Structure 1
């Protein structure tokens, strides 16, 4: 099982994890800036509800900006799961254990450098509270009438997980294939050479590390040890250094990902034609059924 970690060390993100059948956030085992660090944003991140002109850009991202759409898709999946789980628990008269809030999870294999340069390693945009969803307890709802039996909690969680799988079943298998295809670029000689330039670049910004993972380890330490007053500055400096040094890497990787996506779309033309026709209506039905609103981070 791949362990949860900081959003900026997520190799393929939660959506990709679900696409290949994992039950946890799919992240690298390398260190990263900790979620426990109370990092301040350089500027507040916003939200948008605007869908892409082509669903391919949302399901099979190739650029950092495109990953914002897939983050929103995964938040929708998580909200469906929690909505159904919470509704089941209320019907059973039981309470549920507290959970980590739903969050937009960025990717590191497809880093959103403009977003990182602006916001550093703080949280992404805040996920909106779904006001109309069964996920949200209302003032008239009865309080739990009995202690939660672990079997009841598992049953409700299973109902939520099943609903989440149904909400993305039409595209999950093909999306999983896309992320597995993306992973092959890590061995591309041009990508390896570009990554080899990072130590000198990071040193030019005052961060003496051997590679990208070591930079995240250093960032983790700096963010956790920074005082409240200096935290915004430290966060801003780390984000700017990372974004600046990764731009030459992305100048190599992004065109490679776009070429790979073109081939991928051609190879799966029939299935993708169907997804282009059906995906957006299906997403709107999910929003209506569960009282949710599909949202995406915006710079």
Structure 2
């Protein structure tokens, strides 16, 4: 099933442009009729990487699919800090917070990580590390609405102390990425997408309809075929999108070079402050920075 994913961040920290760039992948089953010319892909679990990039620019202003792995980790880290602080607040008050949806690394399909998709499929990723301090005793009573709001607010404040370091700059960057998709070179490259997909058994004219076809096939999936077929579809998507990314990726990198010059003072601040703040938050809250890796 195709679903829209949104990062659970406070309203003041919402990134409308980034949300518009988030295109979801398949999350339920896949069809027993696999794309023509493919074979069942082996199940290859994604791992975790703990190493930061050499430059925080790669994390905050991603220009390639591979760089978005760091962006995904940054988002999850902020959410984990939020939850740890809220859980600590509740624990000190002797009550429990309502259950929440487990955190996940969410892909940016506007900057598709084609190598990762080809290896793991459209939706499968690494598991988010469990942070023990977010748990509360099962015997704890559920907090009142006011208590829950107060603790959630504390979590939001802690996460905002980190997101404020990069969010305004990131928002402007995501707002500029749309120019790459509307460029004539990208439009020309996309014209070959439908023929490539059709030649591999997926009748879709573009990325949006490809996801719709994948979604429809998932609804009739045989449970035993779910994983293999999802990865087959991921390989089809990655193969057919490579000519598009061959145009878009250098265009994004060129755009980022100009962006860095235009926002030089803010970039210097980002480089000076972000990584020390993340490492300090790791120690303070017991939350590990982790990023998906193939």
TM-score range, shorter chain: 0.7 to 0.9
Partner of 1:10: none
Alignment match of 1:26 (pick from 12, 19, 39): 19
Contact in 2 for aligned 1:60/1:175 (Cα 8 Å): yes
Contact in 2 for aligned 1:16/1:176 (Cα 8 Å): no
Bigger relative contact order (CA 8 A; separation at least 6): 2
Partner SS state of residue 123, structure 2:
coil
Partner of 1:225: 220
Alignment match of 2:268 (pick from 261, 273, 290): 273
Partner SS state of residue 297, structure 1:
strand
Partner of 1:35: 27
Against the structure 1 CA distance between its residues 38 and 214, is the aligned structure 2 distance closer, same or farther, given a 3 Å change threshold? Answer: closer
Partner of 1:143: 139
Query: Cα offset for 1:136?
Result: 3.5
Query: Cα offset for 1:274?
Result: 2.2
Against the structure 1 CA distance between its residues 88 and 33, is the aligned structure 2 distance closer, same or farther, given a 3 Å change threshold? Answer: same
Once the two structures are superposed, residues 162-202 of structure 1 have per-residue CA deviations (whole angstroms, 9 ceiling, x without a partner) of 21111221111111111111122222121122222211110
Once the two structures are superposed, residues 114-165 of structure 1 have per-residue CA deviations (whole angstroms, 9 ceiling, x without a partner) of 000000123210011124xx3244xxx58324x4322222222122112111
RMSD: 2.8
Contact in 2 for aligned 1:15/1:71 (Cα 8 Å): no
Aligned ranges for residues 33-182 of structure 1 at < 5 Å?
33-37=25-29, 42-131=43-132, 134-137=133-136, 143-145=139-141, 147-182=142-177
Against the structure 1 CA distance between its residues 249 and 14, is the aligned structure 2 distance closer, same or farther, given a 3 Å change threshold? Answer: farther
TM-score (norm 2): 0.87
Following TM superposition, the consecutive aligned residue runs of length 4 or more in structure 1 with deviations greater than 6 angstroms are 15-19, 38-41
Query: Where in structure 1 are there 5+ consecutive unaligned residues?
Result: 8-12
Against the structure 1 CA distance between its residues 15 and 178, is the aligned structure 2 distance closer, same or farther, given a 3 Å change threshold? Answer: farther
Query: Where in structure 2 are there 5+ consecutive unaligned residues?
Result: 32-40
CA distance in 2, matches of 1:238, 1:148: 44
Partner of 1:263: 258
Against the structure 1 CA distance between its residues 17 and 260, is the aligned structure 2 distance closer, same or farther, given a 3 Å change threshold? Answer: farther
**1:5 paired to 2:6:** no
CA distance in 2, matches of 1:15, 1:99: 10
Contact in 2 for aligned 1:89/1:95 (Cα 8 Å): yes
Contact in 2 for aligned 1:41/1:120 (Cα 8 Å): no
Once the two structures are superposed, residues 265-297 of structure 1 have per-residue CA deviations (whole angstroms, 9 ceiling, x without a partner) of 111112212221222111100101100110000
